[in-house]
Amino acid sequence: MADFSIEGSTDPFLAVQLDKGETVVAEGGAMAAMEDTIDLTGKARGGFLKSLARAATTGESFFMQHAVAERGPGRMLFAPGHPGEVRILEVMGESWSLTDGAFLCAEESLKLETKRNKSIGGSFFGGTGGFFIMSVSGTGTLAVSALGAIQEMAIPPGGELIVDSGHVVAWPSTAEMSASLSTGQGGGMLSKVVGSVKTGEGVVLRFKGSGSILVASRAQPAFIGWISSRMPSSD
């Protein structure tokens, strides 16, 4: 198995040590440095149509990087396209759903798919990839990244974990996700909209079941809005 590790504390690298013949798959443009025993190519993983669907619906690259240790063991450094934390997940026969841009790198043994979002609310409002999300399943090592720091929050037994849609990074198949316009339990649509405006929470995602949800400290839409508000006017 390829050995994944985190190098650095602020805006870290993902370091991957490959034995001869091993392969990893990464988001396009993620490779930062590598030894010359490794060959790096760009491939439309799953074929043209699946790659086109993934790029159009999940925000990932059409061409993914395939790194193969052809001439012996080799070490690589990968870096996400935004500042923030990298988290390594050991996938053991289950599957994980990833939000837009969360995928960084994975062993070739894992299956990467574009799946329909089962939550209608999440499709329209959730900020999780719309009608389609990336699913990673099988057995192997997966690395995800997020804007800002990443924390795990467990779903309380018999209850729900509520997460602002912009802060969700990934969730396991043991968790069931639905979207809501506010954190309140009751009331009609209008009261939920009013409550959402008052609290500034926007759309939230509700998780039931078991397992832990990966949560980012920065929401991409809010961060982009903050940067835009400080850009000089063109007038």
Q: Whole-angstrom Cα distance, residue 192 to residue 140? A: 41
Does residue 215 sit in helix, strand or coil? Answer: strand
Going through the chain in order, the beta strands assigned E by DSSP cover 3-7, 13-18, 23-26, 31-34, 38-43, 64-69, 74-78, 86-98, 103-107, 111-116, 132-145, 150-154, 161-164, 168-172, 175-180, 204-209, 212-216
pLDDT of residue 163: 94
192-229 burial, b if ≥16 CB within 10 A, otherwise e?
beeebeeeebbbbbbbeeebbbbbbebbbeebeeeeee
Reported as a single tens digit per residue, the pLDDT across 10-25 is 899 999 999 999 999 9
- 71 — pLDDT class (breaks 50, 70, 90): very high
Q: Whole-angstrom Cα distance, residue 67 to residue 61? A: 16
Residue ranges and CATH numbers for the domains of the chain are 3-229 (3.60.160.10)
Is 113's pLDDT higher than 70?
yes
Q: Whole-angstrom Cα distance, residue 115 to residue 29? A: 23
Reported as a single tens digit per residue, the pLDDT across 162-211 is 999 889 999 999 999 988 875 555 544 334 433 443 444 567 899 999 99
- 126 — pLDDT class (breaks 50, 70, 90): very low
Per-residue pLDDT, averaged over 30-43, amounts to: 96
Does residue 83 sit in helix, strand or coil? Answer: coil
State the burial class of residue 126 (Cβ atoms within 10 Å of its Cβ: 0-12, 13-18, 19+).
buried
Is 139's pLDDT higher than 90?
yes
pTM of the model: 0.80
Does residue 214 sit in helix, strand or coil? Answer: strand
Per-residue pLDDT, averaged over 46-52, amounts to: 46
Which CA distances in Å does 215 have to 100, 110, 155, 166, 170? 13, 22, 12, 9, 8
pLDDT of residue 133: 82
